[in-house]
Amino acid sequence: METWGSGDRFGHVPMPDGRVYCYMMANAPIGSRSGLDELRERFARWHGPIPALLNSARKDAVLQHDTYELPSLRSYVSGKVAILGDAAHAMTPNLGQGACQALEDAVTLAAAVDTLGVGAGLEAYDRVRRPRTQMIVRRSRQAGAAAHWTSAALTGLRDAALPLLPNSVFGRSLTPAYTWTI
Q: Is the predicted pLDDT of residue 101 greater than 90, yes or no?
A: yes
17-56 pLDDT, tens digit per residue, is 999 999 999 999 988 998 999 999 999 999 999 999 999 9
150-174 pLDDT, tens digit per residue, is 999 999 999 999 999 998 887 887 8
- Distance separating alpha carbons of residues 119 and 39, to the nearest angstrom: 50
Helix (H) / strand (E) containing 9: strand 8-14
pLDDT category at 181 given cuts 50, 70, 90 is confident
Q: Where are the domains of the chain?
A: 2-61, 77-178
- Distance separating alpha carbons of residues 35 and 42, to the nearest angstrom: 11
Average pLDDT value for residue range 99-104: 96
Strand partners, 11: 2, 23
Relative orientation angle of helices 118-145 and 98-116, to the nearest 10 degrees: 160
CA 145 to each of CA 2, 7, 103, 139: distance values in angstroms, whole numbers, following the listed order = 14, 10, 25, 10
